[in-house]
Amino acid sequence: NAGVTQTPKFRVLKTGQSMTLLCAQDMNHEYMYWYRQDPGMGLRLIHYSVGEGTTAKGEVPDGYNVSRLKKQNFLLGLESAAPSQTSVYFCASSYTGLAGNEQFFGPGTRLTVL
């Protein structure tokens, strides 16, 4: 039982390049989330999904797209990377979206955009 896994762990991009971050969970959770973590700003929700085939915008969605074609996978895409997207990205999942339902986090992807 691996929990929530993320690939890659590190990535360096040049401005304008594109990439996809992959999140996978083996807990059969319905809800999945993408956050970014920046110093002094905590974790901010980028996009989330309430189930296979559905996605919704979070707090800071601009510049990102997501897809959830399979229940266990949640992809985060950057179509044209900008230096402002330099951050640590965390994926999380939960069984439901109800308050009190624990979110389980992956180990993170550290992205640098030059």
Partner 1 sequence: QQQVKQSPQSLIVQKGGISIINCAYENTAFDYFPWYQQFPGKGPALLIAIRPDVSEKKEGRFTISFNKSAKQFSLHIMDSQPGDSATYFCAASGSGGYNKLIFGAGTRLAVHP
* Residues found near partner 1 in the complex (CB under 8 A): 4, 31, 40-45, 48, 50, 58-59, 90, 92, 97-100, 102-108
Q: Are 93 and 27 in contact (CB under 8 A)?
A: yes
Strands (E), the chain: 4-7, 10-13, 19-25, 31-37, 43-51, 54-57, 65-67, 73-78, 87-94, 104-105, 109-113
Please report how close the Cβ of residue 64 comes to partner 1 at its closest, in angstroms.
16
Q: Which is nearer to partner 1, 19 or 60 (CB)?
A: 60
Q: Which is nearer to partner 1, 64 or 90 (CB)?
A: 90
Q: Which is nearer to partner 1, 5 or 80 (CB)?
A: 5
What distance in Å separates the CA atoms of residue 68 and residue 93, rounded to the nearest whole number?
12
Please report how close the Cβ of residue 15 comes to partner 1 at its closest, in angstroms.
26
Please report how close the Cβ of residue 3 comes to partner 1 at its closest, in angstroms.
9
